[in-house]
Amino acid sequence: MNLAQHLIIAPILIPLVTGAALLLFDERQRTLKAMIGLASTIAIFAVAIALFRFADRIDGPDMAQQGVYLLGNWAAPFGIVLVVDRLSALMLVLTSTLAIPALIFALARWHTAGVHFHSLFQFLLMGLNGAFLTGDLFNLFVFFEVMLAASYGLLLHGSGLLRVKAGLHYIAVNLAAALLFLIGVSLIYGVTGTLNMADLAVRVATVGAEQRMLLEAGAGILGVAFLIKAGMWPLNFWLPPAYTAASAPVAGIFAIMSKVGIYVILRLTLLVFGEGTPSSGFGLHVLLIGGLATITFGAIGVLASQALGRLAGFSVLVSSGTMLTAIGMGSGGITTGALFYLVSSTLTISAFFMLIELVERGQDAGASVLAVTMEAYGDADAEDEEEEGGGGFAMPGTMAMLGICFAACGILLAGLPPLSGFVAKFAMLSAMLNPAGGESVAPVPAYIWFVVFLIILSGLSALIAMTRSGIRTFWASLEGTAPRVLVIEMAPVLMLLFATMVLTVQAGPVMRYMDATTEALSATHHYIDAVTGARRVGAPGPEVQP
């Protein structure tokens, strides 16, 4: 074990310890809590970057012995393992890239709108990171629940009628999903006798024909639980109201939560039901058709939305649907594009959720909700002083900045050049139309044309909806008062948009990384060998270091 290997558990430990420690401080020590939370989040980001570089170096055939962390020093099928490979490292980096701007945004005012914001935020990060790292199905359930429990608290943060109503539905749906998760996991355990994902992939091949139906039923039920999280139609009616009702920084970090379901589906389908296994291609059709239905539903929702918040909520669905469709097509090239799309669309939607709050601040609805919550927590006076005394720098040229950011979000959501949304969609569509990748033009099946058509149409609907709302918000504004926006509220949005710009400029290297990720995902034996071959510390026998 070297230091890099011990880093694998850090993305779980840092937020756990920080979140627990923050509970000990009184709510009045707001600045201190904020600083500790921010420091922890930045530390997680640093660790995630380190793991990202580590995974890039060790993945592939060399992964054995390195990317696997045996918790409690128990060997693989008996103990719980944490595994870092390219995909999980990518998701870790994405999570912390969203977390820092969301937290900074919250520091402007939102973290004062209720209690324990910083603890809940850290626990949410812990659940997310854990879900991305774990290599054990039941442990995945536990991290899912940690994440969900924190998200219930965060969704209700700021209170108010709208949040409680949306929260009630959100919690009920997710509790039911958790039960489905348990049924699926226990069915799979009942058939294969293992919960370790790598061991499961090995044992699935040996399951007899009469047991296979039970296994597939279990996998299907498990899949439903993840699809509820990912927001596949018709399991997604809870999502837009919940994301709309959440306060802006919370919605910003929630943008990654629907991707957790997609991450798990991507990992498990390729690992357990990948090519060459007896149940190869299990459930791909459901993903494809469900994904297309989700895109359609999301695009209609985007067009029908009057409020910006709902527009963003339905954009989450469009993004999920596109990802599910791409996974459902079950081809490496498309998955590469889809991973790029995942990063790009998550950053965009997160930025968009925060931007909406700033844009709508000038209008009545959002401001009055905030005012009510502030009053409820007795912060009205403190806030007023801050407003008058200028505790924080107001943004110069507010409307111009907001307009530019809004336009950038629109371009990203619609997938127009020059930003990363275009690169992502182009990569996916070109892989769909020309799977061979060469000059040869093979005839494209009709359903592919349909998929391409639908994806482009969803972009068009986003463009129409964004243009319409943009005109209404920025050009046809009657009152003409610019909202007062602080620099630390604008900066997070700019940071996220800057990240998408980096994605665009560095599209080549990023795409190569995604390509390597897809390759590593399809070469399941590397993952399996790494997990099953991981040795305990101090175990007898020669260390096999390739």
Partner 1 sequence: MELILSLGIGVMTGSGVWLILRPRTYQVIIGLSLLSYAVNLFIFGVGGLKVNAPAILTDGVAVSAYSDPVPQALVLTAIVIGFATTALFLVVLIASRGLTGTDHVDGREQSQ
Rg of the chain (C-alpha set): 23
CA distance linking residue 19 with residue 40, whole number of Å: 9
CB of 69 to partner 1, least distance (A): 20
CB of 148 to partner 1, least distance (A): 8
CA distance linking residue 103 with residue 353, whole number of Å: 13
Contact between 168 and partner 1 by CB under 8 A: the answer reads yes
Residues 127-156 that bind partner 1 (CB under 8 A): 138, 141-142, 145, 148-149, 152-153, 156
CA distance linking residue 388 with residue 11, whole number of Å: 40
Contact between 7 and partner 1 by CB under 8 A: the answer reads no
- Asked whether the bond before 11 is cis by omega within 30 degrees of 0, the reply is no
Instruction: Kindly tell me which of 159 and 522 has the beta carbon lying closer to partner 1.
Output: 159
Q: DSSP for 296-364?
A: HHHHHHHHH--SHHHHHHHHHHHHHHHHHHHHHTT-HHHHHHHHHHHHHHHHHHHHHHHHHHHHHHTSH
Q: Which stretch binds partner 1 (CB under 8 A): 173-181, 285-293, 306-314, 327-335?
A: 173-181
Contact between 71 and partner 1 by CB under 8 A: the answer reads no
Query: Which of 20, 179, 436, 444 touches partner 1 by CB under 8 A?
Result: 179
Contact between 25 and partner 1 by CB under 8 A: the answer reads no
Which of 25, 167, 104, 109 is CA-nearest to residue 377? 109
Q: Which stretch binds partner 1 (CB under 8 A): 57-65, 184-192, 363-371, 513-521?
A: 184-192
Query: Which of 23, 35, 176, 371 touches partner 1 by CB under 8 A?
Result: 176
- Asked whether the bond before 396 is cis by omega within 30 degrees of 0, the reply is no
Residues near 358 by beta carbon (within 8 Å), at least 6 away in sequence? 248, 402, 483, 485, 489, 490, 493
Task: Tell me whether strands 81-83 and 68-70 are parallel, antiparallel or unpaired.
Answer: antiparallel
Q: Which stretch binds partner 1 (CB under 8 A): 18-26, 128-136, 174-182, 296-304?
A: 174-182
Instruction: Kindly tell me which of 372 and 433 has the beta carbon lying closer to partner 1.
Output: 372
CB of 145 to partner 1, least distance (A): 5
Cβ contact 367:414 at 8 Å = no
CB of 283 to partner 1, least distance (A): 21
Query: Which of 1, 23, 39, 161 touches partner 1 by CB under 8 A?
Result: 161
Query: Which of 6, 53, 57, 165 touches partner 1 by CB under 8 A?
Result: 165
Cβ contact 188:200 at 8 Å = yes
How many angstroms separate the Cα of 3 from the Cα of each of 45, 51, 69, 183, 545? 17, 11, 12, 38, 16
Instruction: Kindly tell me which of 153 and 483 has the beta carbon lying closer to partner 1.
Output: 153
CB of 200 to partner 1, least distance (A): 13
Contact between 171 and partner 1 by CB under 8 A: the answer reads yes
CA distance linking residue 23 with residue 188, whole number of Å: 38
Contact between 224 and partner 1 by CB under 8 A: the answer reads no
Query: Which of 1, 23, 35, 175 touches partner 1 by CB under 8 A?
Result: 175
Instruction: Kindly tell me which of 152 and 426 has the beta carbon lying closer to partner 1.
Output: 152
Query: Which of 15, 127, 130, 167 touches partner 1 by CB under 8 A?
Result: 167
CA distance linking residue 130 with residue 12, whole number of Å: 6
CB of 300 to partner 1, least distance (A): 22
Instruction: Kindly tell me which of 165 and 512 has the beta carbon lying closer to partner 1.
Output: 165
Contact between 472 and partner 1 by CB under 8 A: the answer reads no
Q: DSSP for 190-202?
A: HHHS--BHHHHHH
Instruction: Kindly tell me which of 189 and 474 has the beta carbon lying closer to partner 1.
Output: 189
Contact between 164 and partner 1 by CB under 8 A: the answer reads yes
φ/ψ (deg, to 5) at 486: -80, 160
Instruction: Kindly tell me which of 146 and 429 has the beta carbon lying closer to partner 1.
Output: 146
- CA 204 to the chain's CA centroid: 28
CB of 119 to partner 1, least distance (A): 14
Query: Which of 189, 377, 474, 498 touches partner 1 by CB under 8 A?
Result: 189
* DSSP-based three-state secondary structure for 69: strand
Contact between 529 and partner 1 by CB under 8 A: the answer reads no
Site size with partner 1, rule: CB under 8 A: 30
Q: Is the dihedral of CA 406, 411, 417, 423 positive or negative?
A: positive
Contact between 377 and partner 1 by CB under 8 A: the answer reads no
Give helix 161-192 / helix 209-230 axis angle, nearest 10°: 160
Q: Which stretch binds partner 1 (CB under 8 A): 87-95, 178-186, 244-252, 376-384?
A: 178-186
CA distance linking residue 244 with residue 458, whole number of Å: 20
CB of 174 to partner 1, least distance (A): 8
CA distance linking residue 199 with residue 269, whole number of Å: 14
Contact between 190 and partner 1 by CB under 8 A: the answer reads yes
Residues in the chain: 546
Residues 192-211 that bind partner 1 (CB under 8 A): 195
Q: Which stretch binds partner 1 (CB under 8 A): 182-190, 224-232, 315-323, 450-458?
A: 182-190
Q: What is the binding site for partner 1 (CB under 8 A)?
A: 138, 141-142, 145, 148-149, 152-153, 156, 159, 161, 164-165, 167-169, 171-172, 175-176, 178-179, 182-183, 185-187, 189-190, 195
